[in-house]
Amino acid sequence: MPLTWQPVILWQGTMKEQRIYMDWNATAPLMPAAREACLSALDLAGNPSSVHGEGRKIRTLIENARRDVAALCGAQPANVVFTSGATEAANWVLTPEFRMGKTPMLIGHLYISAIEHPAIREGGRFGKADVSEIAVTSAGTIDLVALEEALAAHDRQSGLPMVAVMLANNETGIVQPIAEVSRLVKAVGGILLVDAVQAAGRLPLSIEELGADFLIISSHKIGGPKGVGALIARGEILMPSALIRGGGQEKGHRSGTENPAAIAGFAVAARIALDDLENRMAAVTALRDRLETAMIAAAPDVLIHGRDGKRIGNTCFFTLPGLKSETGQIAFDLEGVALSAGSACSSGKVGQSYVLSAMGHDPRHGALRISIGPSTTEIEIDRCADVFAKIAARRSLSGAAA
């Protein structure tokens, strides 16, 4: 089976009846090759910690997967630790308690940008008083001056500072200036965590070039199965205290028997995500731009957040004046288009976007997110544009009638 995505059809029928999936930032469709890898691994007997032949076979599968995930992030395989997902990885690494080799090391305070994913915003194992938000600019990027001032005022007696910043925002797609952030963090001897969940498979990743100490990625965002992710470290010396203790799997960093089936699917997705990344994302970006051009033609007052800055090429986060987020999401869904009102981490709730608030926009106006991927087609893009035009016209007519 070829290592690629296939068009996503949510149910069979005529072209008009087929639904269009445009919520890749919530979950990318499972790749056929990743699914096959999962199924094959399920047939393997044995525990990966066992020393007999069956156990060694599964151990080999996991270590090969570690190599593939490391390659996606420009890291060393030994520095990849598998978790149940990005949220677990965040809760593990966001802790005041680290070790430098065998020596305990204390982190005194956590600094996060105001647009971080809820898994970061909750602060992990830091107390609420030990977490500070750093403002972002109206362009949606972290305010570097505010970060520098916060780090300069950091109480060194409390321990080292930790900074957590996402590489690409899950709602807007806006790319953060991580190299500049790293420079500021390293100038004060701090630790930098980069949430690369939305960037993986959409931007080239190198933990060394980013200057990050840790990266977080998630399988289901790149076409692998749900329920598996990884924390990638820059080296083996500096590591957070274990969140899950037990049998000492993953070198004692994350106890519990590994999930070989999910890890195998994750590895396949990582290999595909890395293959021909630049050309694949150029094609995706062209589709996104085609859609946005059509949207502006249909509704010149549409506001596409981050359009003038650097974004990952698959994301369009927009506000259509006069259209509430929940109303718009339902309207698109009834027309057969699956999109979202932002982060998909709040049990289906549609609320005001704290990302828009942080950027200085009135969150009551709401916004909708279209996120696409390699299997999205021109036909789907054009049909989505037609649905957008229909909804925009209906909004205009409603306003005129009022």
CB atoms within 10 A of CB 152: 10
Q: Which long-range contacts (CB under 8 A, 24 or more apart) does 325-330 make?
A: 325/350, 325/353, 325/366, 325/367, 325/368, 326/350, 326/366, 328/366, 328/368, 328/391, 329/368
Max CA separation in the chain (angstroms): 75
End-to-end alpha carbon distance in the chain: 56
Residue 73 designated active-site? no
Residue 345, SS3 per DSSP: coil
How is residue 341 written in tokens? 């009102």
Q: Which residue's entry shows tokens 């010396």?
A: 237
User: Distance from CA of residue 334 to its chain's centroid?
Assistant: 27
Q: Which long-range contacts (CB under 8 A, 24 or more apart) does 296-299 make?
A: 298/385, 298/388, 298/389, 298/392, 298/393, 299/388, 299/389, 299/392
Catalytic residue, chosen from 38, 73, 345, 384, is: 345
**Kind of pairing between the strands at 303-304 and 229-233:** unpaired
Catalytic residue ranges: 345
